[in-house]
Amino acid sequence: EDVLAWEREHGQVPRGSVVMFRTDWSLHWDDYAKYGLPLVYPGVMLDTLKILHLQRAILFHGHEPLDTDMTPSLEGEAWLMHNNFLQAEGVKNLHLVPEHGALVTIGFAKAQGGTGGLARFVAVCPPEWDGGATVWEQPGAPLPTQVAPLRRNAQGVLTPDPSATPTSYCSVEEEDGSTTVAAHPLGCPLPK
């Protein structure tokens, strides 16, 4: 019903779209860290998933909670996985993105044999959109620091390697030929 109501207002979801379900569930991550996850969270119904994936041919969908639905069998999640459809879970900051018309870029590692992985989604918003934030204003995920630099092992899996030399990011070659690392709180500064 929600998808059809949205389409009555905005037009049919275009083929190849990325559909993100905004519920504002992710606005409370600090509370969840302190008090635990809620027992009930918003979900995406199986019929909705079938309309979007089979009839609208979307590329994939995303949602803020950590699972697709609250059914006892996780029927939506099971249907997605058994039909090889991609989804994004734990998406946040959807309140900063327009309801439609943004271009979504995705940065993620190529995983082989896994059931999931971390990704960063960046919405490139239309020029008339006055909301949002830059990638400099939104810090990255709070991932654990590794004991040694990550390098690929013989199987191609990234693992800590105590013998590896740390990678020097944001290196700047000085006039005297020496190299320094540019300090910036959110990573490398943008080129001028």
Say what percent of the chain tops pLDDT 70: 77
What are the tens digits of pLDDT across the range 71-103? 888 899 889 988 888 888 888 889 999 999 988
What are the tens digits of pLDDT across the range 26-67? 899 888 888 888 888 889 999 999 999 999 999 999 999 888
pLDDT at residue 192 in the model: 47
For residue 168, count other CB atoms closer than 10 A to its CB: 9
Greater pLDDT, 12 or 190: 12
Residue 23 pLDDT greater than 90, yes or no: yes
In terms of C-beta distances under 8 Å and separation of at least 24 residues, what long-range contacts does 11-18 make, across chains too? 12/56, 13/52, 13/56, 13/58, 14/56, 15/56, 15/57, 15/58, 16/57, 16/58, 16/59, 17/56, 17/58, 17/59, 18/58, 18/59, 18/60, 18/61, 18/62, 18/104
pLDDT at residue 22 in the model: 93
Residue 11 pLDDT greater than 90, yes or no: yes
Report, as an integer, the average pLDDT of 109-119.
Answer: 62
How, if at all, do strands 179-181 and 60-63 pair? Answer: unpaired
How, if at all, do strands 171-173 and 158-160 pair? Answer: unpaired
N-to-C CA span, the chain:
49
Q: How confident is the model at residue 16 (pLDDT cuts 50, 70, 90)?
A: very high
